[in-house]
Amino acid sequence: MRTAIYPGSFDPVTLGHIDVIERASKMVDKLIVAVLNNSSKNSLFSVEERVNMLKEVTSHLDNVEIRHFGGLLIDFARECNAAIIVRGLRAVTDFEYELQMAQTNRIMNRDIDTLFLTTDLKYAYLSSSIVKEVARFGGDISEFVVPMVAEKVKEKYKI
């Protein structure tokens, strides 16, 4: 059974993330979307809220499971029996950070490889930070996230 793990902050999940999840889920038997429980980071949504939103937007995908983790990704991947880490690459600006993470993870565990999926061109600019920035100032985020997520972001900013 081929299991992959797609880690991230998902604060909140964007259409770009959903695109990567849909494509990656077709390549493996099981895809675990792993939400970083980053209590130190200033997240808009709690880890439970992020997990619940992800569950809702992936409910049409039978082989996708949503979990959260703290600590090292490589340890969580081992716990999940996942030999593949999936990451989306948007632009060259992502590359340096992603390469560093992938190489560090590989040094720590040579049995786990990182698989990069280039994001769909229509989401190449998109990030959770951009969604929050636009929403914070009352902008329209309907092109960036599903309606349920847009509502929850607006609630957070009391729009």
Least distance in angstroms from the C-beta of 39 to ligand PNS:
12
- Our CB check for ligand PNS shows the closer of 83 and 159 to be 83
CB 97 within 8 A of CB 127: no
- Asked whether the beta carbons of 141 and 112 are under 8 A apart, the reply is no
Based on the residue annotation, tell me whether 152 is a catalytic residue of this protein.
no
Note whether 5 and 69 are within 8 A (CB): no
Binding residues for ligand PNS, per CB under 6 A? 7-9, 36, 72-74, 101, 104-105
Residue with smaller CB distance to ligand PNS, 96 or 140? 96
Please, what is the minimum distance in Å from the beta carbon of residue 46 to ligand PNS?
Answer: 16
Mark whether 41 is an active-site residue: yes
Minimum CB distance to ligand PNS smaller for 99 or for 138: 99
Which tokens hold the place of 102?
């992938």
Distance between CA atoms of 110 and 39, rounded to whole angstroms? 28
